[in-house]
Amino acid sequence: MIVAENRSIKHRNIVSKLYSFVPAEIGIALEDFRGILEQHGVTPDGRLFFSMLSEPTADVMTAELFMGIEEGDITLPPEEEVMFRSYFEIRNLHTIRLMEDIDAQSQVAYWELAKHVDAGGYHQTTPVFVEYKQSPQGGTYVEMSVGAVR
C-alpha cells in the first residue's frame, strides 16, 4: 500500500455526532445519525466520513461520524448532540486509498499508516479519519488518513 503525504480533508456544511458501537454495527450508527437529521428536516448530501477515537482493536469503537448536508446552517435540539461546522479542514494528513475489499483491507491500512508514521519519525496529531468517496465510474472507495508532523 502506498502512503501519500501532505493531504487534507476539506468540507463545507458538515454535521457530526459521537457514537460508541461494535465495529460491525457502524451501519446502525450511520442510520441513526441520518434518521436524526431527517427527523429535524436536515438533508444529508452523501458526503460521509468518520474519525476513530478508540484503538481499532477495541471491542467497542468510539467514533465521531460526519455527514455533509445541503443546508448552510441548522439548529437542532441540544439533546441530539449534533455539532454543525460551516467549514471543516484537517491538514498534514498521511493517506492510504482502498479501492476494493475495503472491509478486509482496512485493518491492514491502519497498521500500514501507523508503521509509516513511526518509521518516518512523525508525531501523530489527529485520530484516524476514514472518508468514503465516489469514483467517476460510480464505485465507492475509502481514504484512510492520519495527521502527522515531524
Domains of the chain: 4-149 (3.20.80.10)
Can you give the pLDDT of all 150 residues of the chain as single tens digits? Answer: 899 999 999 999 999 999 999 988 999 999 999 999 999 999 999 999 999 999 878 899 999 999 999 999 999 999 999 999 999 999 999 999 999 888 888 889 999 999 999 999 999 999 999 999 988 888 889 999 999 999
Residue 91 has, within 13 A of its CA and on its CB side, a CA count of: 0
Look up residue 62 and give its three cell numbers: 468510539
The structure's pTM equals 0.93
Distance CA(131)–CA(85), nearest Å, equals 17
Q: Is 144 exposed, middle or buried (0-12, 13-18, 19+ CB in 10 A)?
A: buried
Give the per-residue pLDDT at 139.
87
Give the per-residue pLDDT at 107.
86
Give the per-residue pLDDT at 135.
86
Q: Cα–Cα distances in Å, from 107 out to 15, 98, 128, 135? A: 26, 11, 12, 22
Give the per-residue pLDDT at 81.
98
Give the per-residue pLDDT at 137.
87
Distance CA(13)–CA(126), nearest Å, equals 21
Give the per-residue pLDDT at 55.
84
Q: How many CB atoms lie within 10 A of CB 27?
A: 9
Q: Are 30 and 48 in contact (CB under 8 A)?
A: yes
Identity of the residue numbered 91: R
Look up residue 60 and give its three cell numbers: 467497542
